[in-house]
Amino acid sequence: MNRVELVCPAGSLPALKSAVDNGADAVYIGFRDGTNARNFPGLNFDEAEARAAIRYAHDRQARVFLALNTFPRPSQWEKWRRAVDQAAALNVDAMIMADAGLMAYAAKTYPYLRLHLSVQGSATSHEAIAFYAKRFGIKRVVLPRVLSLAQVRQVIRRTEVEVEVFGFGSLCIMVEGRCALSSYVTGASPNSNGVCSPAKAVRWEETATGRQSRLNDVLIDVYATGEKAGYPTLCKGRFAVGGNIFYALEEPTSLNVLEILPQLIRAGVVAIKVEGRQRSPAYVAQVTRVLRAALDACLKDPEHFVPAREWIAQLDKVAEGRCHTLGAYHRSWQ
């Protein structure tokens, strides 16, 4: 079986070092602005930090991808275009992109620069992937987390473009690259502003009934004493519906593909991606270490691969809701 690349998140230089030091083959970073979909205060890289990060990774034979995966409005074009120029000047190993206009600019101006189609591009068919490959020369596609394992196999069979899939991390119930839910409450969507639930809109309040989380004036959740509180997003809030209070849209949980690693590798995926540039260096270290061990064991003996219990336990500790799912991969009807 061919070696599969482990691609890990790096929202900061310490997180990047944690990923590289624990076995990541590649890391993905973003600039410190809305050109990437994790635009939170305290995250991401300015030019000097990006240069140091790339040097650290390259010295240890790891690659660095730059996420430039949001959609600029016409008034923002120059800022996004400069981000492409900056990435090219830094000699990143690839740019992860979603906007067709930006891809056209990158392909024309820097034809030697490797382009990956972001999950935000929402390409779920071989026809869509073929369009991006023909028009912009993309070399890899990150598949959205809405496809079953059978559908992933079908896409890989019918495309020559490399296929990368998510292996661990937060799920999204929306059509990736099309979500505008948070904009109804905060005025900002991840597609254009690079952040779902921007920090300036988040409110925490201690009350007699428990800790409350809000986005502006909208109550997202109430937590009992000692209950773990998650970062407030509309899609993962608890709401009163029909007299019942529950996770009306999506219950917090994390994708974990350890049990189907052999099937994914046999299908022909070239990379397993970890979500979580907004997470801590400790999270990055733990997830990278576990997935490195699991991938190595699977590639060594795929016929007898069984995920170790301690791997599952370690990943569940850092999973949303402290539990995991196969998400759409297990849907036999798709």
- Whether the CB-CB separation of 272 and 152 falls below 8 Å is answered with no
| Spatial distance between the Cα atoms of 234 and 256, rounded to a whole number of angstroms | 23
Residue 271: name the closest of 152, 105, 146, 134 by CA.
152
Phi, psi of 333, deg, nearest 5: -85, -5
3-state SS class at 234: helix
| Spatial distance between the Cα atoms of 197 and 179, rounded to a whole number of angstroms | 12
Structure tokens given for 21: 């030091």
For domain 5-171+253-330, the CATH superfamily is Aldolase class I (3.20.20.70)
Helix (H) or strand (E) holding 58: helix 47-59
3-state SS class at 327: helix
Residue 290: name the closest of 167, 131, 110 by CA.
167
Structure tokens given for 118: 């972001």
pLDDT of residue 231: 87
pLDDT of residue 171: 85
Q: How many other CB atoms sit within 10 Å of the CB of residue 292?
A: 17
pLDDT of residue 87: 98
**Which residues, 6 or more positions from 296, have their beta carbon under 8 angstroms from its beta carbon?**
none
pLDDT of residue 332: 73
What are the extents of the domains in the chain?
A: 5-171+253-330, 198-247
The model's pTM: 0.94
What string of pLDDT tens digits covers the 334 residues of the chain?
678 999 999 999 999 999 999 999 999 999 999 999 999 999 999 999 999 999 999 999 999 999 999 999 999 999 999 999 999 999 999 999 999 999 999 999 999 999 999 999 999 999 999 999 999 999 999 999 999 999 999 999 999 999 999 999 988 876 787 888 888 899 988 888 888 888 899 999 999 888 999 999 999 999 988 888 888 988 899 999 999 999 998 888 899 999 999 999 999 999 999 999 999 999 999 999 999 999 999 999 999 999 999 999 999 999 988 889 988 888 876 6
What DSSP character marks residue 31?
A: B
pLDDT of residue 221: 93
Rg of the chain (C-alpha set):
20
3-state SS class at 215: strand
- Residue showing tokens 């000699």: 91
pLDDT of residue 321: 81
- Whether the CB-CB separation of 86 and 31 falls below 8 Å is answered with yes
Residue 33: name the closest of 44, 25, 23, 24 by CA.
44
| Spatial distance between the Cα atoms of 63 and 171, rounded to a whole number of angstroms | 25
Residue 98: name the closest of 215, 27, 194 by CA.
194
| Spatial distance between the Cα atoms of 190 and 222, rounded to a whole number of angstroms | 24
